[in-house]
Chains A and B, each alone.
Chain A
Amino acid sequence: MTLTVNAVEIENLTKTFISIRRRAIVIPVEKKRVEALKGISLDIPHGKVFGLLGPNGAGKTTLVKCLATLVLPTSGTARINGYDILQESTHARASMGVCQGNERSIYWKLSARENMIFFAKLYRMPHNEAKERADELLGRMELLEKADEKAEKLSHGMRMKIVFARALIHDPPVLLFDEPTQGLDPTFATDLRKYIREKLSDKTILLTTHYMHEADLLCDKIALINEGEIKSFDTPKALKKAVRDYDSLHIRVEGKPDIETIKKMDSVMSAAISSKDGHAEIVATSHDGYELAHRLLNHLHELPGVRVEHFEVKEPTLDDVFLQLTGRRIED
């Protein structure tokens, strides 16, 4: 009997990491608990692309690793294609392809084709079928000409394409993509996004990213995740609609102004600062960005050691939604 299920079902999934610092190897002196996931529940219907958007350390990778059966959840459960990840983990693994944004996850001493065939055979594919499938996918990734070159001789982008293609080798109905375009040059990243959008429309995809435009472009629905909790979820359009009435003010300065003072200014809805090499970027949201810009620029002008380099009032993005909800920027 065929069960009726969503492609991915997650029920109240929690994960707490406990690290114990020991003295003289055995004597515990400090116990540290990190709640990486705090009761995540969500269902993803077949054929949808679901995005998890959040900053580093938000819990995205932990969630993917739990679904991929690489990490055991503390409580709760999940099903992939109807198979419980704890009780029916082998079936669950057969139903999914996993791509983690790590070019080192293939064998560098093997060629692109050999890598693909090796993993195809682990999914019980006979040799000829494995070779055909490998060539088909390498062709789609425009890597057929390089198929016999050892991975160590290929570029970073090409190796990432092999990692990506490997996730598709057994044509699984569910795909888990963890930061698939991280560190890729823009051309390769654009190619992969195009491929996901155009060629994988029949797959159910859980995509984690901290690139807002990627989530915006690819996902049917997006969950904004921070500190192990889903703060909001909806279509990209609906999420942005929530902050449609706001403007997003971006100011780049030399020096580092006090963000707490800015947060307390009239009409500031939310504000965050990120600094690097003596420069800082302030992002603030307000009902009237131009009015706030006027007052904020005056305020910054008066601060010693601070010099405004650039300012811009922008349409709200998913980052502004995130900032509004968490007080934190996604790219932090």
Chain B
Amino acid sequence: MTIADTISEETPRAGSLYLDSFKPRLMDWTAARVFAAKNLRIAMRYPANFIIWGVMPLLWLAPYMLMMTALGGPGTSTSFTEISGFDNFVKFAIIGWFVFQYVEASIWSVGNSFRHEQFSGTLEPLFVTPVPRISILIGAALSDTVQTSISAIVLLTTASFLFGVSYALTAIAPIIVLLLMMILALYGFGFMVAGMILVFKDPSVLTQFVGTALFTVSPVNYPLQALPIQARYVAYLVPSTIAIIIIRELAITGVFEIGQFLSAAAGLGTTILFFWLVGIASFRYAERWTKNRGSMGGF
């Protein structure tokens, strides 16, 4: 006689209004929104975040601007104009930094959020709720995009004012579309990073390396043509490169060319598909790996 035989007394399955109507969802948008709102609320309760949003990006950007001005004179340089096709390198760099704020945040935001949940001991309670993982991943990404938007807009406004530059607003709609597509594509990469956080807990060496390499090959401060030819191929593999180049051109010239826009959008669309498939598959694998080893809540 087994233990089960001895104490089994079968009765109907317990139900409730919630359980009777419960159906698993592939994506729970409410949960994603609730998770994002929770992250934002917590972020606002750390006063130091206001310094990060408002001041830090400007402090990172300023030394580059000052060095450029010292080398090329105020605003321009013949060599720069020949290579890039633009006549004002300050204007060129500020918009590059604006876009790169989103690049960096979109890659690390989901992973950082998971790391925070690990440290605060809330990852396991989250994972025992019936919320699809993708909702938690997207919620984490959304909250960080909101924070980055505050930071990037403050940077763009302050830097434009300080360095006396302005941008064309005539092509604002395609800029927003391309920016959103780039952010979406990078979310996929972020899901992969979140998976790595589940497995390695603190993959700081790897993430630092990827982050620095990405910054190096992205045409944020310099025109892509300044890169050695081999490195230029690598730069084109990064989804943000094409977005930075096109957004910069739209913001500086204000000229919208449908062909150029559509080819950029198609490239980014392909990247979204690729990174989301790889990102979600990697995260699922990482979750399974972690559950097999029983290390979900560890840090």
**Cβ-defined contact, A11 with B4, below 8 A:** yes
Which A residues, 88 to 124, have Cβ-Cβ distances below 8 Å to chain B? 90-91, 93-96, 98, 100, 102, 104-110, 114, 118-119, 121-124
**Cβ-defined contact, B45 with A109, below 8 A:** yes
**Cβ-defined contact, B31 with A41, below 8 A:** no
**Cβ-defined contact, B13 with A104, below 8 A:** no
| Contact partners of A166 in chain B: CB under 8 A | 125
Q: In the complex, A81 Cα to B24 Cα: how many Å?
A: 16
User: Could you tell me which A residues sit within 8 Å of B by CB distance?
Assistant: 2-7, 9-11, 15, 17, 19, 36, 41-46, 62, 65, 68-72, 81-82, 90-91, 93-96, 98, 100, 102, 104-110, 114, 118-119, 121-125, 150, 166, 170-171, 173-174, 204, 221, 223, 230, 233
Inter-chain pairs besides A17-B293, A45-B11, A107-B38, 9 sampled, C-beta below 8 Å: A6-B9, A41-B3, A42-B3, A46-B14, A70-B128, A91-B24, A95-B14, A105-B122, A123-B129
| Contact partners of B297 in chain A: CB under 8 A | 70
Q: What's the minimum C-beta distance from A179 to chain B, rounded to whole angstroms?
A: 14
| Contact partners of A65 in chain B: CB under 8 A | 294
- Residue interface mask B1-29, A partner, CB < 8 A = 1: 01110111111111110110010100010
| Contact partners of A107 in chain B: CB under 8 A | 38, 42, 120, 122
Which of A9, A69, A94, A110 interacts with B4 by CB under 8 Å? A9
**Cβ-defined contact, A71 with B296, below 8 A:** yes
The count of residues in chain B whose C-beta lies closer than 8 Å to any C-beta of chain A is: 47
Q: In the complex, A36 Cα to B132 Cα: how many Å?
A: 28
Whose C-beta in chain A lies nearest to the C-beta of B25?
A90
Q: What's the minimum C-beta distance from B117 to chain A, rounded to whole angstroms?
A: 9
Given contacts A9-B4, A41-B2, A107-B120, A4 and B128 within 8 Å (CB-CB): no
| Contact partners of A98 in chain B: CB under 8 A | 125, 128
Whose C-beta in chain B lies nearest to the C-beta of A41?
B4
Whose C-beta in chain B lies nearest to the C-beta of A163?
B125
Q: In the complex, A108 Cα to B45 Cα: how many Å?
A: 11
Would you give 11 A-B contacts (Cβ < 8 Å), ordered by A?
A: A5-B11, A6-B11, A7-B14, A46-B11, A93-B129, A114-B38, A121-B30, A122-B126, A122-B131, A123-B130, A171-B16
**Cβ-defined contact, B14 with A70, below 8 A:** no
**Cβ-defined contact, B9 with A94, below 8 A:** no
| Contact partners of A6 in chain B: CB under 8 A | 8-11
Which B residues, 272 to 298, have Cβ-Cβ distances below 8 Å to chain A? 288, 291-294, 296-297
Q: Does B202 contact A (CB under 8 A)?
A: no
Q: In the complex, A69 Cα to B127 Cα: how many Å?
A: 8
**Cβ-defined contact, B129 with A119, below 8 A:** yes
| Contact partners of A122 in chain B: CB under 8 A | 31, 34-35, 126, 129-131
Q: In the complex, A221 Cα to B293 Cα: how many Å?
A: 30
Given contacts A4-B11, A81-B13, A93 and B128 within 8 Å (CB-CB): yes
Q: What's the minimum C-beta distance from A299 to chain B, rounded to whole angstroms?
A: 40
Whose C-beta in chain B lies nearest to the C-beta of A150?
B45
Q: In the complex, A173 Cα to B11 Cα: how many Å?
A: 13
Which B residues, 128 to 145, have Cβ-Cβ distances below 8 Å to chain A? 128-132
Whose C-beta in chain B lies nearest to the C-beta of A3?
B13
Q: Does B121 contact A (CB under 8 A)?
A: yes
**Cβ-defined contact, B19 with A95, below 8 A:** yes
**Cβ-defined contact, A223 with B11, below 8 A:** no
**Cβ-defined contact, B4 with A70, below 8 A:** no
| Contact partners of B9 in chain A: CB under 8 A | 6, 45
| Contact partners of B296 in chain A: CB under 8 A | 70-71
**Cβ-defined contact, A119 with B125, below 8 A:** yes
| Contact partners of B15 in chain A: CB under 8 A | 2, 173
Given contacts A105-B122, A119-B125, A124 and B30 within 8 Å (CB-CB): yes
Q: In the complex, A7 Cα to B10 Cα: how many Å?
A: 9
Q: In the complex, A9 Cα to B42 Cα: how many Å?
A: 39
**Cβ-defined contact, B10 with A108, below 8 A:** no
| Contact partners of A46 in chain B: CB under 8 A | 11, 14
Q: What's the minimum C-beta distance from B44 to chain A, rounded to whole angstroms?
A: 9
Q: In the complex, A153 Cα to B9 Cα: how many Å?
A: 45
**Cβ-defined contact, A5 with B130, below 8 A:** no
Which of A2, A72, A96 interacts with B288 by CB under 8 Å? A72
| Contact partners of A100 in chain B: CB under 8 A | 124-125
